[in-house]
Amino acid sequence: MKKIVTVLGARPQFVKAAVLSRIINKHKAIEEVIVHTGQHFDANMSEVFFEEMMIPKPKYNLDINSMSHGAMTGKMIEEIEKVLEIEKPDALVIYGDTNSTIAGALAAKKMHIKVIHIEAGLRSFNMKMPEEINRILTDRIADLLSCPTETAIDNLKNEGFDNLPVLIEKHGDIMKDAVVYYSQFSEAKSSIIKDQKLQKNEFVLATIHRQENTDDEEKLTSIFKALEEIHKIQSVVLPLHPRTKAILKKLAIQPKIQLIDPVGYYSMLELLKNCSMVISDSGGLQKEAFFNNKHCIIVRDETEWIELVNHGFAKIVGSDTKMIIEAFEAYKDSKKDFSIELYGNNVGEKIYQSIYQLIH
What values do phi and psi take at 311, rounded to 5?
Answer: -95, 5
At 137, the amino acid letter reads L
CATH number, domain with residue 322:
3.40.50.2000
Specify if 354 maps to a domain. yes
- Same domain membership, residue 160 and residue 22: yes
Q: What is the pLDDT of residues 238-249, one digit of tens each?
A: 999 888 999 999
pTM to 2 decimal places: 0.93
Q: Name the pLDDT band for 322 (thresholds 50, 70, 90).
A: very high
* Total structural domains within the chain: 2
Query: What pLDDT score does 44 carry?
Result: 63
Residue 338 lies in a domain: no
Q: What pLDDT sits at residue 66? A: 87
Q: How many CB atoms lie within 10 A of CB 129?
A: 18
Question: Are 114 and 195 within one domain?
Answer: no
pLDDT of residue 32 exceeding 90, the answer is yes
Distances (CA, A) of 188 to 70, 183, 193, 268: 42, 10, 12, 13
Strands (E), the chain: 2-8, 30-36, 60-61, 91-95, 114-118, 144-147, 167-170, 203-207, 235-239, 258-260, 277-280, 296-298, 314-316
pLDDT at site 52 = 87
Q: Is 8 helix (H, G, I), strand (E, B) or coil?
A: strand
Domain that holds residue 313: 181-332
Across 154-212, where does the E strand assignment appear?
167-170, 203-207
Please state the rounded mean pLDDT for residues 162-172: 97
Q: What is the pLDDT of residue 40?
A: 79
Cα separation, 286 vs 302, in Å, equals 12
Asked whether residue 165 falls in the same domain as residue 190, the answer is no
Whether residues 235 and 104 fall in one domain: no
Q: Supply angle C-alpha 157, 161, 162, rounded to 5.
A: 75
Residues 16 and 150 grouped into a single domain = yes
Averaged confidence pLDDT in the chain: 96
Q: Is residue 282 part of a domain?
A: yes
Which one of 27, 171, 209, 360 is the catalytic residue?
209
Q: What is the pLDDT of residue 199?
A: 96
Q: Is 209 a catalytic residue?
A: yes
- The Cα–Cα gap between 156 and 131 comes to 16
Residue 139 has pLDDT above 70, yes or no: yes
The CA–CA distances, whole Å, from 92 to 2, 23, 219, 294, 308 equal 12, 17, 39, 35, 30
Instruction: Look at residue 46 and tell me whether its pLDDT is greater than 80.
Output: no
DSSP 163: G
Is 188 a domain residue? yes
277 CB-side CA count, 13 A:
24
Nearest 5°: CA angle at 318, between 137 and 138?
Answer: 10
Q: Are residues 208 and 165 in the same domain?
A: no
Is 339 domain-assigned?
Answer: no
Q: Are residues 55 and 165 in the same domain?
A: yes
Tell whether 116 and 250 lie within a shared domain: no
Do residues 21 and 65 both lie within one domain?
yes
Asked whether the predicted pLDDT for residue 130 surpasses 70, the reply is yes
CA distances, 153 to each of 166, 167, 267 (Å)? 12, 11, 33
Task: Say if residue 55 is in the same domain as residue 87.
Answer: yes
Same domain, 292 and 215: yes
Q: Given this model, what pLDDT does residue 45 score? A: 66
In a domain, 337, yes or no: no
- Would you tell me the crossing angle of helices 321-332 and 217-231 to the nearest 10 degrees? 30
Q: What is the arithmetic mean of pLDDT over 320-342?
A: 96
pLDDT at residue 43 greater than cutoff 70: no
Q: What is the pLDDT of residue 315?
A: 98
Instruction: Give the pLDDT mean for 259-287.
Output: 96
> 17 with 160, same domain?
yes
